Chain A
Amino acid sequence: MILIVLAALILISWSGYHNHLRRSLESQQRAASHVVLTRDGEGGSPPAGEATGTPTDSGSDYRPGALEHKAAPAFTLVDLNGRKVSLSDYRGKAVLVNFWATWCGPCQVEIPWFIQLHNQYASQGFEILGVSNDTLDDDDQTRLEQEKQEVSTYAAKMKMNYPVLLHGDTLAAAYGNFDSLPTSFFIDRKGTVVAETNGLHPRDEVEADIKKALATGGQ
């Protein structure tokens, strides 16, 4: 009799545990759905830019400095006015390609530095491309316009005096799968990456990298 009761208890416990496992699995399977229903939902496919890179989710394999001394990957993105901007348009200039986002606090600190340094070194052939990694919902035209306006408003508030490009997430794979912002690439006049930084770095270090990009690559 005792054995029967014990067996029944074991059966009940196993059944409950199995049911919990099933529910957990069902939950995980549902979570793999690509349906994004809210404005703040994440995921889905990044919008198709004209970058040579492949859209990716995050930089789990990011290695800082992997692109140094290599040719900067080519790209074409659209600026806030809808104009196409290519990295190749700036051949012969030293270029800082800075990946940022409106939600990135450290980015907000360095952007004023960039503005000052752009003013200081533009006459020597220095340019900055501010590539926004803000998520843009290409499937919803109304939201897309609102999101673009938010980036535009932010750029105006910060007084960014250099091109601001959209859909920066489409370049993540080509530029080493970086997984955090800000991330910057300093490119010389011949298109070679001379320095790469991830995270906020001191202003004088930024200026030194700009000088390095201006000094190398020749005309």
Chain B
Amino acid sequence: MLLLPASHVLSGGPLFAQTIPSVSRSGSKTSVQFLYPEQISVPAGKPFSTDLHFRVDPGLHINSHSPHEKSLIPTNLLVVEEPGLKVQSVDFPVGAEYSFAFSPAEKLSIYSDQFVLRAHLTAERGEHLLQGVLRYQACDSNSCYPPKTIPVAIDVIAK
């Protein structure tokens, strides 16, 4: 299980949108799943951090948030802006080093198995919906799949 300690993180801002970007259409296989949480309780008006758990299908890997090559598509989290809920930043784990068997000298920075993003947020009193999409690009041992997105939705209850 790839769950890196909090000290091994890269802080990055989420990308913001006013509506959710289109996600991969149904029937199109996605290689990553958002596991949990579905709901969190937070203190109203105070900074709070929550871990977002994802899983990559066995046999596949996705580029980390900071791939070594500019042409590679990084994993990113896009968050819909919502009144009363502010996501200040998102921590991405540092990727693991990986090389394709046919190119051992080229090191990639990847996520595989399970990985965790940590979102730092503040919510006004009430119920909110933290919604967004995770964008990623997956490969197996000798081929790569087009970039895809999966929805992320979390009920945020601020008291």
Please give the residue numbers on chain A whose beta carbons come within 8 Å of chain B beta carbons, in ascending order.
20, 23-24, 26-28, 30-38, 40-44, 57-58, 60, 101-109, 133, 135, 150, 154, 169, 179-182, 198-200
Residues of A near B85 (CB, < 8 A) are none
For B133, give its contact among A31, A150, A198 (CB under 8 Å).
A31
Residues of B within 8 A of A198 (CB): 143
Complex Cα distance A108/B100, Å? 11
Q: How far is the CA of A37 from the CA of B71 in the complex (A)?
A: 21
Contacts of B56 in A (CB 8 A): none
Residue of B28, B143, B149 near A41 (CB, 8 A) is B149
Given A180-B143, A180-B145, answer yes or no on A42-B22 (Cβ-Cβ < 8 Å).
Answer: yes
Interface size class, chain B: 35 or more
Q: How far is the CA of A198 from the CA of B140 in the complex (A)?
A: 12
B74 → A minimal CB distance (Å):
8
CA distance A156 to B144 in the complex (A): 22
Interface secondary structure of B, over-half rule: loop
5 tightest A-B contacts by CB? A43-B22, A41-B21, A199-B143, A27-B153, A58-B28
**13 sample A-B contacts, Cβ–Cβ < 8 Å, listed by A number:** A23-B129, A24-B38, A31-B22, A38-B78, A40-B135, A41-B135, A57-B25, A58-B28, A105-B144, A107-B144, A180-B144, A181-B143, A200-B102
The closest CB in chain B to the CB of A154 belongs to B71
Q: Closest approach, in angstroms, between the C-beta of B78 and any C-beta of chain A?
A: 6
CB contact between A33 and one of B19, B72, B78, B108 (< 8 Å): that residue: B19
Check A104 against B144 for contact (C-beta < 8 Å): yes
Partner among B18, B28, B106, B133 whose Cβ is within 8 Å of the Cβ of A105: B106
Chain A's interface: helix, strand, loop or mixed, by majority? loop
Is B24 within 8 A of A40, CB to CB? Answer: no
Q: Is the CB of B22 within 8 A of A33?
A: yes
Identity of the chain A residue whose Cβ is nearest the Cβ of B128 in the assembled complex: A23
* Inter-chain contact A109/B21, CB cutoff 8 Å: no
B23 within 8 A of A: yes
Complex CA gap A103/B21 in Å reads: 21
Q: Are A37 and B21 in contact (CB under 8 A)?
A: yes
A106 touches B139 (CB 8 A): yes
